[in-house]
Homo-oligomer: A and B are copies of this chain.
Amino acid sequence: MLASSTLRLLNIRPTPISSNQNPSEPDTKPVPQAWKLKGSARLNRWSRARTIRSGRKLDRPDQQVQVLEAKRPPVEATESEVNSVTKIDGDDDVGVRVGKSIYMISDGTGWTAEHSVNAALGQFEHCLVDRGCPVNTHLFSGIDDVDRLMEIVKQAAKEGAMVVYTLADPSLGESAKQACKLWGIPSTDILGPITEAIAAHLGVLPSGLPRGAPGRTIPLSEEYFRRIEAIEFTIKQDDGALPQNLYKADIVLTGVSRTGKTPLSIYLAQKGYKVANVPIVMGIELPKTLFEVDPEKVFGLTINPVILQTIRKSRAKSLGFNIETRSNYSEMDYVREELEFARRNFAQNPVWPVIEVTGKAIEETAAVILRLYHDRKHRCSMPRISKRY
C-alpha cells in the first residue's frame, strides 16, 4: 500500500519545458524523472498529520512544509520559462509574480473543477497562506471543441501548469488525457472516475452531455422552485425582518452582530432551506415569536470575544463608522457584555443548540447545523443528510 502510493506520487512527472510551439507535432521525447521525495510521501503525511493533531508546534518551513526535492534537468531558457512568471489578471493583483498554475478545463460550467481544486488546496493552507508557494488557478469553462481544448493544453504546457478537467463528452476527455500525456503535463480527470463508478452501480451509461448541451435542458422541477423560494424567503427574513414569519422558516439563526448570520442563512438557503435570522442586540427585546416557534429549529451562534472585536473593528472601518459615536460597537467591554446577554438568552432556551463559530468558515458552520437539523428531524441511528434524485 505504502509503496504503491509513493510510486503514484513519484510517477507524476514535472512539467517539461517544451520549445515545440506546434501543437500538431507535440514534443514526445521522454521526460526524465526529476522530483524526488524525501522518504515515503504517505508516511511523511501520516506522521505530519499526527504531529499537527497532537497540537505540537511545528517550525516553518523546515518541518511543517516538507518540500519535495526538485532536481530539474538543465535546460535552455525558453519562452516557457518566461511564461512561468505568470501574469495574474485577478482584480486585486495585476502585478507580475512567480506562482504555480493550475488550469481547470470544463465543457460545462467548471464549478465542479473549481470546487474540488479549492477543497484540495485547503490541504495546502500551511504554505498558501504564508505565500510560500502561491498558486494561480485559471478556469476555462464551456470548452466544447477540441481546437480550443488543444490551445489551452498547449498554453498549460508553456506555463508549466498542471491540468484538471471535467469533460462530460468522452471524446474530449480522451483528447485532453492524450494531449497532456504527450506533452508531459500532469493531469487529473475530476469527474470521470466518480461518473464511471456511478454508471457501474446504476447499470446505466452516462449521457456524455455537458451542462447546457442541447438535450440537457433542466426540467422545471419542484426541487428547482423550492430552492428559489428558499432563497427569496431567506432574503426577506434577513436581519430580523418580518418576525411574524418565523414559523414559516425551516431554520432560525440567532446571535449578536458579526457572528455570520447573514452569509450562513444564504448558504443554507442555496441548499433549499428557508432560513430566518434574528439579531441579538443588547438592550433590545427579542421578538416574541422567536420563543413561540418550534425550539428544535432555532440555533444560537456564539464567538470568541477577541475575534469578534477584530471582525467588528474591520466592519466599522469598512462601513466608515465614526469611531467617536459608534465606538461601543467594537469596544471590548461592550462586546463581552453583548455576548453575555446572548448567553443568558441561550441558557433560558436549553433546546437551542449553541454553535461556536470562531475560526469556522461559513460552510463548516452550515455542516454542523444541518447535521443537527437532520438528526433532530429524523432521529436516525446514524445521522445523515439524505436526498432523492
Contacts and interface: CB of A to CB of B under 8 A. Distances in A.
Interface of A: 1, 8-9, 12, 15, 35, 41-42, 44-46, 48-49, 52-53, 55, 65-68, 70, 88-93, 99-100, 102, 108-112, 115-117, 119-129, 132-142, 151-152, 155, 162, 164, 166, 168-171, 174, 178, 186-188, 190-191, 193-209, 211-222, 224-225, 227-229, 231-232, 235, 238, 260, 262-263, 266-267, 269-270, 307, 310-311, 314, 318, 358-361, 363-364, 366-368, 371, 374, 377-378, 380, 382-389
A135 B201 CA distance: 10
Contacts of A377: 89, 91
Nearest to A208: B49
A45 B206 CA distance: 7
B115 A115 contact: yes
Contact of A388 (B88, B125, B269, B367): B88
B197 A12 contact: yes
A225 to B, nearest CB: 6
A151 to B, nearest CB: 7
Contacts of A213: 52-53
Given A191-B116, A378-B89, A137 B211 contact: no
A242 B135 CA distance: 38
9 contacts: A45-B170, A70-B203, A109-B363, A109-B367, A123-B209, A134-B388, A140-B382, A141-B371, A231-B263
Given A111-B367, A168-B123, A212-B364, A93 B201 contact: no
